[in-house]
Amino acid sequence: MSVRRILGVVIVGMVLAAVSTSGRMVPGMAEAAAAKPTVKIAFIGPLTGSNASLGLGGENSFKLALMQRNEDPQTKYRYEGVYLDDQCQPQAGVQAALKAGSDPDVIAAVAHYCSVVAIATVDTYHRLGLPAMVWGAVLPAVTYGNTYVEITRVNGTQIQQNATAARFDANTIHRKTFACLYDTTDYGRGHFQYFSEFAKKNGLQIVYSAGVAPDRQDFSAELARIKELHPQVVWFGGLSAEGARIRNQMAQIGLTALFQGTSGIKSEEYIKAAGPNAEGTLAFLEGAPIEQLPGGAAFLAAYRKAGFTNPPEAYGPFAYVAANLVVRAIEAVGPDRAKVADYLKHKIKNVPSIIGPVTFDDHGQNVLATVTPYVVQDGTWVPWGQSEYARGKRTLP
């Protein structure tokens, strides 16, 4: 036998071995599976690309929810996750939505971190009649731009976030002048639109604004212009990777203004990438701090115990809650897409969860009452109220 043939045989053997082990079941699992019918739920998020960290945090949290539900002997069904990657790109997102929607075994989807993807896929879910609960995208139009029964959203919107942010800037930390950078996707533009609206209402002044392509690496040109204008705050509407790059380049050219972002940069990833420059950065996230909510600490402990290598990130808890709500609907009305969609849209009122009670309004939007400001202190995101900055022990730039 030639070397090539031997290699070929070895590879085929390895593939066969892998296939056979992956299909094998632990005895207990087989019995449980036989006892309960299986229902599939899709998880869709950015599992590759520069937002993969957020996507993996959501995926793990979703997995954890299904694991916990499957361990519960009371559930009527065994839940199986179908994991699809939207790459944070509309085209890939629509393909993933189509794939999930055209599989009749998939009863619902917990979908999308990126607003650009969520806004592109809502019509697909509606057309295929697949109930989809958004777990991370914050563009208001995802829920408020349609009346589809299939679409619900467990996290908040840019409107809520920026209303709080502008009020906080004016009344709590007393800043007046802002230079705004935002990525040129619907996400970044949306944030900028709402921030400037609320900034005006609160008497804040935007002295410079520029949109930047989301894959832009170098911001030194914009930052040098900003430095010349001496604003008190550099505000950024965009995601972690760009946010950290901007923060680092601010330090490089000696721009010492306060750096404030949106929920898009509230991630472990941002802190890691910005390193010591992250100190004193502000961001806003819907809901109360998870550690303070009933079940929040238990979620974090279970997440750690499950041995995921990636942190849950800011929106993991939302994916976890979304998975639980979908399971709740299926348990209540059975694995029927139309019934599940109707249940999710109309029956979720004041349901307790680790992000606080969930209530969907007429548009399927969770009416989260609170948005929490966070500040980076010693390498972690600390809720503003508990930070040394709020107590006057440290001062923001």
Partner 1 sequence: MTGWDVLAQQLAGAAQLGVIYALIAVGFTLYFGVLNVIQFSHGDIVTVGAFAALTVAAATGFVPLVVVAAMALTGLVGVVFERAAVRPTRASPPLITLLATLAAGMAIREAIRLFYPLGSQVHRFPALFPPTPIHLGGVLLRASGLWIAGIGLGTIVATAVLVERTSLGRAIRATAQDREAAQMMGVDLSLVLDATFFIASALAAVAGILYGAYYNTVTFDMGIVAGVIGFSAAVVGGLGNVYGAVVGGFLFALLETLSAAFLPAGSENADVFAFVIVILFLVLRPTGILGEKATQRV
| 184 touching partner 1, by CB under 8 A | yes
Q: How far is CA 80 from the centre of its chain?
A: 21
Question: Minimal distance in Å, beta carbon 99 to partner 1?
Answer: 20
Q: Coil, strand or helix: which one is 62? A: helix
* # residues contacting partner 1 (CB under 8 A): 44
196, 240, 263, 324: which one binds partner 1 (CB under 8 A): 240
Residue closer to partner 1 by CB (options 56, 165) is: 56
Stretch of 273-281, 340-348, 364-372, 373-381 contacting partner 1, by CB under 8 A: 273-281
Question: Minimal distance in Å, beta carbon 191 to partner 1?
Answer: 15
Q: With contact defined as beta carbons under 8 Å apart, do 285 and 266 qualify?
A: yes
360/374 Cα distance (integer angstroms): 25
Give the x-and-dash track for 48-77 against partner 1 (CB under 8 A): xxx-xx-xx---------------------
Nearest to 93 by CA among 61, 139, 39, 33: 139
| 228 touching partner 1, by CB under 8 A | yes
Stretch of 45-53, 144-152, 288-296, 350-358 contacting partner 1, by CB under 8 A: 45-53
Site for partner 1 in 285-324 (CB under 8 A): 309-310
| 193 touching partner 1, by CB under 8 A | no
Q: With contact defined as beta carbons under 8 Å apart, do 297 and 291 qualify?
A: yes
40, 78, 112, 227: which one binds partner 1 (CB under 8 A): 227
Q: Quote the crossing angle between the two packed helices 186-201 and 115-128, to the nearest 10°.
A: 110
Which residue's structure tokens are 């212009």? 225
The counts of H helices and E strands in the chain are 14, 12
Q: With contact defined as beta carbons under 8 Å apart, do 181 and 219 qualify?
A: yes
What phi and psi values does residue 284 have, to the nearest 5 degrees?
Answer: -130, 135
**Interface residues with partner 1 (CB under 8 A)?**
47-50, 52-53, 55-56, 181, 184, 210-213, 215-218, 220-222, 224-225, 227-228, 240-241, 244-245, 248-249, 252-254, 268-270, 272-275, 277, 309-310
